[in-house]
Amino acid sequence: MPRAVVEIQATCTPLEALDYLADFSRAPEWDPSVVTARRLDDGPVQRGSRFELTVRAAGRTTPLVYELVARESDSIVLLSRSNRLESRDTITVAPTSVGARVRYEAELRGLGWSRVANPLLAIVFRRLAGRAAEGLRRQLNAISGAN
């Protein structure tokens, strides 16, 4: 199963980081592989909130619907599942002397016949994760104190 883990240090607080990242409609602000994103429901972002993203990888675009399936004081989990692909994003935060340490773990799995593409998917996925990590660091530092 393709997996990417990035850890970044940010100047925002852990709560600012979690609030920002829980709203997955903001993903295009920090992840260059996300072409579009929108919230599918209203009200506060909470467990059960859903987001539709269009992701570009290896020259193809894929629509994914994510649901915020868990939210704790120090973590969130977002899950997307279609007939071809499952993606699980787990984000944990911890306070540091200068802000927050953010650990973003993304697991992607081809389902059905798509499983045969998992090794190729892993290579592409890790490359995209590196680009997203830099955007995430930039955005989290920009929101520091802005909320």
Q: Which of 55-59, 72-76, 98-102 has the lowest mean pLDDT?
A: 55-59
Enclosing domain of residue 85: 3-143
pTM assigned to the model? 0.85
β-partners of residue 4 are 106
The total of other beta-carbon atoms located within 10 Å of residue 57's CB is: 14
Torsion sign (Cα): 103, 66, 109, 125: negative
Alpha helices in 49-117 (DSSP H): none
By CB atoms closer than 10 A (0-12, 13-18, 19+), residue 113 is exposed
What is the domain-level CATH number for residue 31? 3.30.530.20
3 state SS of 82: coil
What are the tens digits of pLDDT across the range 87-135?
A: 899 999 999 999 999 999 988 776 654 544 545 555 444 555 667 788 8
Task: Report the chain's mean pLDDT, rounded to a whole number.
Answer: 85
The total of other beta-carbon atoms located within 10 Å of residue 6's CB is: 17
Q: How many domains does the chain have?
A: 1
The total of other beta-carbon atoms located within 10 Å of residue 111's CB is: 12
* pLDDT: which is higher, 109 or 61: 61
